Amino acid sequence: MNPVEVGLQNRCRHHCRSGLCRQKANRQGQTGHRQNPEFRPAHNCSQQKRQNRHCPRPEWRLLGQHEVETDARGEADRQPKRPAAPFSRQSCEHLGCQLGNAADGHSPGWLSARVVCVTMHGGDRPHGPAPVGCIPHEPVLNHRSTHKNHREKIVRPMTVVTRFAPSPTGFLHIGGGRTALFNWLFAKHHGGKFLLRIEDTDRARSTQAAVDAILDGLKWLELEWDGEAVSQFARKDRHAEVVRQMLERGQAYRCYATPEELEAMREEQKAKKLPLRYDGRWRDRDPSEAPAGVNPVIRLKAPQTGETVIRDHVQGEVRVQNAELDDMILLRSDGTPTYLLAVVVDDYDMGVTHVVRGDDHLTNTFRQLQIYHAMGWTPPEYAHVPLIHGPDGAKLSKRHGALGIDAYRDMGFLPETMRNYLLRLGWGHGDAEIISTEQAIAWFSLDAIGRSPSRLDFPKMENLNAHYIRECEDTRLTTLVLPFIEKKLGRALDGGERDLLHRAIPGFKPRVKTLVELADGAMFLFAKRPLTLDDKAAGQLTPEARAQLTVLAARFGALSEWTAAALEGVVRDYAEQAGLKLGKVAQPLRAALTGSTVSPPIFEVAEILGKSETLARIGDVGSAN
């Protein structure tokens, strides 16, 4: 079959998203596609082919040779999308599964699809003439399929080196946290290195406070980096040196256009609805025309024809015409490097093998690739991770998600919660939801990262946090919640109070979603008598209830053993004698002891509070008042 024949006959029904075929299809629609003489049919494309894979459903292989499942109801005309139960089984006539031939009045369509092709197919071996309906399909993997599982796995033996490269112009936000996590996990998974580089070439906006915030954030997330954090600015001489080489080789040139001039150019382009790009006005101009007293920037002399292709672990193959890209600035007029240049040089010098970053950098990658090409360097592999949106689907803003990672800490989230939640945002492993960091390292792969942007969902984050709080060991949880309590209390806890907290922790674990809730709930432990009652608690303390409490207090006082079980025994006996439900007595007791209607099991609370404090708190609200 020659290409023209195929092209005229039909649209290409295979994966024509490569080469000319794709461009024409995109620009001119189907017609252009069909008529394009240079159309490349499927067989010229370099897809992987799955050979001889008939009847891929596993259970067919379990049914035995030459068996066919048929629909006993035999609806001849309608072609049910799915066969309706119950089935009867019939033997297949011969290797070709001819029974599919509507012998029983079934449409061959789905019937033949249920042909059992085990033995005759001999596992993966090809067999003779295709049985009816059992068309030997040769599903071809599109080398740029939309499906993440279709992405070709790029395997290159090497020691993996990843890096996280934040710019210190603000805090570490949640998207940055996830990027760092992915880089860290990928490096750990491969036993490689995870480096940290601070992209501080913008001197005006970079601050030490931001650097500290980022470092603190990473430490809190427990994402340790290898070696010292690299300052990009400190490497500016090396960057300039690389540009000098490009200049010497004619791969870069000086541009004397002023910022104002360029701004005017962009305005004009905008007005004329033209693409916004540098027009190359100094690309081929003689340096002798340079105006006096203007410090030039240095631009890359980028190729103007052909295309630049990114083979991305997440995005697949992405290509752009070089004509779409303008000559980027490498060195500013003050001699400092721009981001585009510095990133390439540093990644190269640091031996970075995999660049994992937000997909807002995808278009930068084309330009960075051009620098790699100009320098003759092998570029790293890329994985551009979709961005995280706020709960409303819009870009993250200060209002919702774009908080510093420290804000999540202050909201009472645990670092393991954040790691688990962030991991699941855009990455999945079957039905797994609760994923330990160890498991994440074992499972993580770039190719399983989804391509669509995801939204932040606080309820789910809280649910995960509740899980990790329940899992958290009591002593650690006590330590974690202590700052929250002390802040609320406005003072430090003494040793006895810490012990009280520690003993109360198990009662709170299943009841709270965040450390803040835990701290709130535990405040009554440290409250000064007499307790301030909330409205509902006050409502519980009717005169009758107060009278009951006074009786109970007397019986409690007589107890020789101060345990939750003993206290419960007393209260149950009392309730039974008085003909009351347990709750009728327990709720006022809860109000008296905690000042609230919500708390851990009240007898445990009383045990932890101790005899004298319990009796005193009851006394405060007793009928004697």
Residue of the chain from 322, 439, 550, 597 that contacts RNA (CB under 7 A): 597
Residue of the chain from 64, 74, 105, 109 that contacts RNA (CB under 7 A): 109
d(CA 46, CA 189): 30
450 binds RNA (CB under 7 A): yes
SS3 of 252, please? Answer: strand
609 binds RNA (CB under 7 A): no
322 binds RNA (CB under 7 A): no
304 binds RNA (CB under 7 A): no
d(CA 62, CA 70): 16
Give 273's DSSP letter: T
Residue of the chain from 112, 370, 548, 614 that contacts RNA (CB under 7 A): 112
d(CA 273, CA 322): 20
Give 139's DSSP letter: -
Pick 376 or 398: Cβ nearer RNA: 398
Q: What are phi and psi of 164, to 5 degrees?
A: -115, 130
Residue of the chain from 85, 155, 271, 292 that contacts RNA (CB under 7 A): 85
From the list 221-229, 371-379, 392-400, 525-533, the region that binds RNA by CB under 7 A is 392-400
Print the binding letters for residues 197-216 with RNA: x by CB under 7 A, - otherwise.
--xxxx--x-----------
Residue 363 near residue 369 (C-beta atoms within 8 A) = no
Pick 258 or 439: Cβ nearer RNA: 258
386 binds RNA (CB under 7 A): yes
483 binds RNA (CB under 7 A): no
d(CA 605, CA 603): 5
Measured between its terminal Cα atoms, the distance across the chain in Å is 101
d(CA 594, CA 523): 9
12 binds RNA (CB under 7 A): yes
Residue of the chain from 61, 127, 150, 283 that contacts RNA (CB under 7 A): 150
Nearest of 139, 141, 142, 185 to residue 162 by alpha carbon: 185
From the list 280-288, 447-455, 471-479, 481-489, the region that binds RNA by CB under 7 A is 447-455
Residue of the chain from 4, 5, 10, 610 that contacts RNA (CB under 7 A): 10
Amino acid residing at 327: D
Is residue 273 annotated as part of the catalytic site, yes or no?
no
Amino acid residing at 194: F
- 272, 398, 460, 488: which one is catalytic? 398
Pick 273 or 490: Cβ nearer RNA: 273
Joined together, the tokens standing for residue 237 give 């001489």
Residue of the chain from 238, 254, 283, 361 that contacts RNA (CB under 7 A): 361
Of residues 514 through 553, those in contact with RNA by CB under 7 A are none
- Count of residues engaged in binding RNA, rule: CB under 7 A: 130
Reduce the secondary structure of 401-432 to three states and give it as a string. CCCEHHHHHHCCCCHHHHHHHHHHCCECCCCC
Nearest of 527, 535, 525, 557 to residue 622 by alpha carbon: 557
489 binds RNA (CB under 7 A): no
315 binds RNA (CB under 7 A): yes
Give the number of other Cβ atoms within 10 Å of residue 440's Cβ: 21
Catalytic residues: 398
